[in-house]
Amino acid sequence: MKIAVCVSHVPDTETKVKIGSDGKTIDTSGVNYILNPYDEFAVEEALKIREKDGGEVVAVSLGEDANKETLRKALAMGIDKAVLLKDEHERDSYAVAKGIAEYLKSYEPDLIFVGKQSIDYDNLQVGGLIAEFLGLPSVSVAVKLEYADGKLKAEREIEGAHEHVEVTLPCVVAAQRGLNEPRYPSLKGIMQAKKKPIEEIEAAQAESRVKVLGMKKPPEKQPGKIVGEGVDAVPELVRLLREEAKVI
């Protein structure tokens, strides 16, 4: 079994985002980058399948040199090899997916994992787009997987319920929190990762379809208002919710 895991290099969840001077990108100074948390579930699932059924897992990341840090973490967790699809320019989800799909055409994996979303731009598109470019079935927000006899049974999170689906391989699976508990890279894994090469390939060109015009922070939160206490305050509260806040 050949498994590809697409990993993305994103700002740490604790980052206090500042908008850059161009007003269109974030200010990256002082920002810590991490392996996208949803991609950690994807890496873990790929490793579990490999441990059970054998095969090879490759981690693929599209972006700058700095993405190697994230690829190293994936290697330290146990991934066999890593590929950096180099491009220093900002890409939208379409162009990222296109670049990755072009590479995957040559790698021909049986199974492709992505995190259900990257926590930087939260577009939730890359998994579906890769599947579309490669003409493969895709399963999004997967919380449980079972692989047997060339078929994959998956459980997906849907509004208020779980949906059970079955797909044939090759396919794309987008991992959701709950799919597994990602392992920590062990110190031995980290040492071994140092010896594993990261292959660098120029990413296939693709035009972004979405242009960012500007970024704005949400307005500062206004302090709340206390309209009174106890039952006596209810009529006034209702009036304000209706007339001022216009929410009821």
Q: What are the residues binding other proteins (CB under 8 A)?
A: 12, 14, 32, 69, 72-73, 76, 184-191, 193-194
Least distance (Å) between residue 82 CB and other proteins: 13
User: What tokens does 180 get?
Assistant: 């597994």
Nearer to other proteins, 6 or 193 (CB): 193
Closer to other proteins by CB, 124 or 190: give it: 190
Helices 67-77 and 187-195: angle between axes, nearest 10 degrees: 120
Of 127 and 185, nearer to other proteins (C-beta) is: 185
Kindly state the smallest distance separating residue 16's Cβ from other proteins, in Å: 10
CA distances (Å), origin 104, targets 30, 75, 85, 145: 33, 19, 11, 22
* Nearer residue to other proteins within complex by CB, 181 or 229: 181
Rounded to a whole number of angstroms, the minimum distance from the CB of residue 196 to other proteins is 12
Token pair 């799919």 is found at: 179
CB of 222 vs other proteins, minimal distance in Å: 19
Among residues 41 and 147, whose Cβ is nearest to other proteins? 41
Task: For the CB of residue 72, give the shortest distance to other proteins in the complex, in Å.
Answer: 6
Cα distance between residue 101 and residue 234, in whole Å:
58
Q: How far apart are CA 130 and CA 208, in angstroms?
A: 15
Within 13 Å and on the Cβ side, how many CA atoms surround 197? 3
Q: Would you call 21 exposed, middle or buried from its count of C-beta atoms within 10 A (0-12, 13-18, 19+)?
A: exposed
